[in-house]
Amino acid sequence: MKKNKEILNPTLHHEQTDTTLSYLLFRKMDKLFNAFQHHSRLAIAEQLLKNKSLNVTDLCICLRSEQSFMSQHLALMRRSKVVLANRQGQQVYYSLNPERLQALNDMLAALNPLYQYASNTDQNNKLYNLYFFHTAYELNRALYHVDRIKILSFLHQKPNSCVQELQEGLNMNQSPTSQQLRILRLNNLVHSQRNGKNIHYTLNYPLLKTYVQQALLLFPTEQI
């Protein structure tokens, strides 16, 4: 059990700071991002942002949707705690969770300073700038994978490793190793540098540290 915990939750010590790559934390973040990864749920959020509080009937009228589908989307958003429910008599009214969305907003700003500028210039779309949101979503997806966590942990222990060294150290084939490295590189989680015929990889510690710190503000109980 201890070995599995170390594999799924490796701690990276860098410049007197410990950053734990928690698989459970990334899974919870994936569920949070998933609350917005559908055009209907994004439309619900926009309506609640505009109208503050609506019941299912109101939302169905605004979005021309059937109640069964609306209820399913609202249930998922409630589980992610981005939507709050308040019963008034026989009606249940839904509203956005300002604390949850502010923490998510702060994460996007911390990951990319340009997001703060975009937010300040367009207050109406402050919480739902799709470009920055999608970037953070893809970043979390890159982290939410056992093999990629193993690769990051290996690169922490042995920086400047090439694909062959990763293959041998992690007992992985070349094709999946290269594929996982490509995903990590595309999301700026690792840096690459060619040295002769080989490409060597190192961790992007500032990005890893920033992302984990911001994620822990959303899910502080996942501090390990």
pLDDT at 15 (0 to 100)? 67
In terms of Cα–Cα distance, which of 129, 111, 110 is closest to 121?
129
| Within this chain, domains 1-34+98-224 and 37-96 share the same CATH topology | yes
Contact (Cβ atoms closer than 8 angstroms) between residue 70 and residue 78: no
Residue 7 has pLDDT above 90, yes or no: no
In terms of Cα–Cα distance, which of 116, 130, 103 is closest to 32?
103
The CA distance from 12 to 21, in Å, is 8
Cα 201 to Cα 48, 71, 122, 191: the distances in Å are 44, 46, 38, 6
pLDDT at 120 (0 to 100)? 58
* Reported pTM: 0.82
Summarize pLDDT for 32-48 with one digit per residue, the tens.
998 888 889 989 988 99
**CATH domain 1-34+98-224 topology:** Arc Repressor Mutant, subunit A (1.10.10)
Residue 118 has pLDDT above 90, yes or no: no
pLDDT at 6 (0 to 100)? 52
Count CB atoms within 10 A of the CB of residue 139. 21
Residue 165 has pLDDT above 60, yes or no: yes
Residue spans of the domains in the chain: they are 1-34+98-224, 37-96
CATH of domain 37-96: 1.10.10.10
Summarize pLDDT for 43-75 with one digit per residue, the tens.
998 899 888 899 999 999 999 999 999 999 999
pLDDT at 134 (0 to 100)? 82
Q: What are phi and psi of 8, to 5 degrees?
A: -85, -10
The CA distance from 56 to 70, in Å, is 7
